[in-house]
Structure 1
């Protein structure tokens, strides 16, 4: 397929490269020219604008930081809705507010453009290894059309419901991930505070009922205080805001989500926004009296 790919950051860059390697024609655009150059080196093509990337595309994929960027790319002058041909499939794989996904779907219908909200989980490692989990909202027929593309970049691919449902499931994913990071951080602080080797202790936890993917992937780096970003605190802060807003709109109470959101906000206020979300450990350490 001819694919226009908008957003070639930490996640989008390897995803676009996988699609190019798989034989698709991928024409990519990013506000950072060096990101476009990286795609060209991987076998893709350079676009000079959003319009240039999407006007001849069969499918358009957007992978952007937040809803303002998605709205600008989709609704703006020279954007997807203005430049894409009728029948084009737009898969927004960004993590944004469900209401924005619904607005895009409604506006795109008038342009005869098919839309899916398809946020992902798995972080930079999942993007590089093409093992992302993809939660997709939209029409079943459009999901079937997009599935071969999703299979190039992901491993767990599920149609979770109508437009906006993908973003709701992603919000649920992020509140669970944030909660687990907070608890693993507390476990490390507890063990170290009691004079127990945290690495050994987490090895035991990872083999029992407390086992989870975060322990599998991040326990050693957390004990070593290595917080090179695979997914930044800044972005998780945004995602927790999405989860809280969705809870308010649904009129449900998520008290643990509120607490985790405040811990993430604290990490950001402490200046850790550019670090990996596993740096929630640093918040617990400071609450426990540790000094930088």
Structure 2
């Protein structure tokens, strides 16, 4: 599911911008949170043929992703520096805030037009605050928590519950059509 979701985001953005040879950053997916659900999701993105840059606080999980073809990032800011679409798949609201808007977070290096996909279940008020901070930089955030646990991630049966503003939906493409 993660592969399909991000594949459609990338394809839609390439078509919309009419770039036949997108920049490497445009074709790279960033991923933070390689735990029980995030690890299999990142593997799925790699299996789909996408370039992936990954970060996790447990370096062993990054090493595993690298062994499958991912590039290692030094922190979440490095992920956003190197990828147009970035995924946060962390457990708690505090972790999401740190990864997305904290020091060393996505907000430090994200560029106007970038899209952050928050796939953990986090406090909606915190998400709204993060959205306001990101909007000041021209960065969109898509709220897409998933259900299905580790088994769903491994069997590619996760369900995403997507909340997004219209502009981000248009940028993300048909995978978010309701």
TM range (shorter): 0.7 to 0.9
Secondary structure in structure 2 of the residue aligned to 1:138: coil
Q: Retained in 2: the 8 A contact 1:7–1:29? A: yes
> Which residue is equivalent to 1:88?
114
Q: CA deviation at 1:42?
A: 2.1
1:123 paired residue among 125, 140, 149: 149
* Deviation string, structure 1 residues 192-235 (Cα, Å, up to 9, x no partner): xxxxxxxxxxxxxxxxxxxxxxxxxxxxxxxxxxxxxxxxxxxx
Q: Retained in 2: the 8 A contact 1:135–1:158? A: no
In angstroms, what is the RMSD of aligned CA positions?
1.7
Q: Retained in 2: the 8 A contact 1:3–1:54? A: no
Find the aligned partners of 1:70 and 1:82 in 2 and give their Cα distance. 14
Q: Which residues of structure 2 form unaligned runs of 5+?
A: 1-26
Q: CA deviation at 1:144?
A: 4.6
Q: How does 1:122-201 map to 2 (within 5 A)?
A: 122-146=148-172, 159=178
Q: Retained in 2: the 8 A contact 1:21–1:43? A: no
Secondary structure in structure 2 of the residue aligned to 1:28: strand
1:64 aligns with 2:90: yes
Secondary structure in structure 2 of the residue aligned to 1:90: strand
Q: CA deviation at 1:158?
A: 6.7
Q: Which has the higher helix share?
A: 1
TM-score normalised by structure 1 residue count:
0.49
2:77 paired residue among 30, 35, 51: 51
* Deviation string, structure 1 residues 46-65 (Cα, Å, up to 9, x no partner): 11211221102110100001
Q: Which residues of structure 1 form unaligned runs of 5+?
A: 152-156, 160-292
1:106 paired residue among 122, 132, 144: 132
Find the aligned partners of 1:158 and 1:32 in 2 and give their Cα distance. 35
Q: CA deviation at 1:142?
A: 2.0
Find the aligned partners of 2:170 and 2:64 in 1 and give their Cα distance. 30
Q: CA deviation at 1:31?
A: 0.3
Q: CA deviation at 1:141?
A: 4.0
Find the aligned partners of 1:145 and 1:126 in 2 and give their Cα distance. 27
* Alpha-carbon distance change, 45 to 72 in structure 1, aligned in 2, over 3 angstroms: same
* Deviation string, structure 1 residues 16-57 (Cα, Å, up to 9, x no partner): 111111121110000000110111122211112112211021
> Which residue is equivalent to 2:21?
none
> Which residue is equivalent to 2:45?
19
TM-score normalised by structure 2 residue count:
0.79
Q: Retained in 2: the 8 A contact 1:17–1:43? A: no
Q: Retained in 2: the 8 A contact 1:136–1:143? A: no
